[in-house]
Structure 1
């Protein structure tokens, strides 16, 4: 039996933070990622890592299958599960660059090392 290739994302931590009683066992997704479904089959999460412009990045998404948008609390939980205390970003692209594969999905992007990639917008006061 061959050992699967290691992944950047810790799937066991992902499930533990999301909640073992509510989420299924993670399944490999792509070359360096995981997919995990909510046990009630109403939502799913995909997390994958990739290299881009000299850095290692993670993309995490949460989708609802019942035509409702995931809540802020669900997105914050996904952030904790994937990025811990590191930085992650939700991006609003201009219409010409927007890609919509699933209408009821929210996304986060962040560096694997959790480093901030934007200026400190709070430096001149509050954010």
Structure 2
């Protein structure tokens, strides 16, 4: 009987604790995972990966905007799915048609420590570099 009462008394606190659990967020600064730079995918030269990593950084802000080293725009989050819409590239506004839908998507890990971005097929990047694992930039 005491065990049942204790369970019933503890249940609301357990529900409250689960409901108040902190959700993972994309907000913050991100960089290419150093492990990807040191061990690039097959067909990607280490020098290319080093250069790519130095220019592929993002800062996602609370107001649903982002700024990258060469781009800026907006983003949305649905659960762990992230959609990125670039509005400016190298300081130049993109045409409205190019801004009509997200150019890049990604997945945020449950713990919020990694973000895997699916790269658009541009013909510029090596075909084997279809996604990039990002980690939080704590520097």
Tell whether the structures are fold-level matches, with TM greater than 0.5.
Answer: no
Compare the two structures and name the one with the higher strand fraction: 2
Name the TM-score, length of structure 2 as normaliser: 0.34
Name the TM-score, length of structure 1 as normaliser: 0.36
Q: Over alpha carbons, which structure has the higher Rg?
A: 2
Compare the two structures and name the one with the higher helix fraction: 2
